[in-house]
Structure 1
Amino acid sequence: MKGDQIDKIKKTLIEVLRKHGVKRAALFGSIVRGEATEGSDIDLLIEFEGRKSLLDLAGLKLEIEKFIYSKILTYDM
């Protein structure tokens, strides 16, 4: 994945995450190491401001998937 593609993903993520009340977020994995390809997933850890409902989480997930054209796997921590 090229640097300009990664920058576009980051910019889009920041806009979407702010809209959904995300306090902090961190990218990790192949995209950060510069090893991502077109088929790579995007590893994202997020912390919300306050508690969010399942519907809030689903809405965030769907909106991110819409912009990055990739499925997102979610895990509860």
Structure 2
Amino acid sequence: MIRNYQEILKIIEDNREKIRGFGVTRLGLFGSAARGESTDTSDLDFVVEMENETFDSYMDLKEFLEDLFHCKVDLVLMDAIKPRLRPIILGETIYVQGL
């Protein structure tokens, strides 16, 4: 498992065009990996904004990220973040540049 958030963001940036192909307009890393607290069993948590979001595009992106990082990925839609959690999640989110 990749634990360094810089490595995670670099891999995302290297796959930017493929990720854009899913309709992604913004993608950010949050959770233990963003805080530098992940372990070998940690998942990766991403917040995403998508154009023309469908269930299929969401699931395709989730599966792509899980294949890319070889671990479980929690993918949270920006619009679906509960208001009481929004400041916590967005306060620690590190966004991928160029998406």
Q: Same fold (TM over 0.5)?
A: yes
What count of residue pairs does the alignment treat as equivalent? Answer: 74
Contact conserved, 2:28 with 2:48, CA < 8 A, in 1?
Answer: yes
* Identity between Structure 1 and Structure 2 (%): 30
RMSD: 2.2
Distance 1:7 1:75, change over 3 A: closer
Could you tell me which amino acid in structure 2 is paired with residue 55 of structure 1?
D
Gaps of 5+ in 1: none
Structure 1 outlier segments of 4+, above 6 Å: none
Matched, 1:66 2:67: yes
Please, what TM-score do these two structures have when normalized by structure 2?
0.60
Name the counterpart of 1:13.
12
Structure 2, unpaired ranges of 5+: 81-99
Task: Describe the superposition over 1:9-65 as per-residue Cα deviations: whole angstroms up to 9, x where unpaired.
Answer: 2222332433322111111111111111111111110001x2222111111111111
Structure number with the bigger relative contact order (C-alpha 8 A, sep ≥ 6) is 2
Query: Which one has the bigger strand percentage?
Result: 2
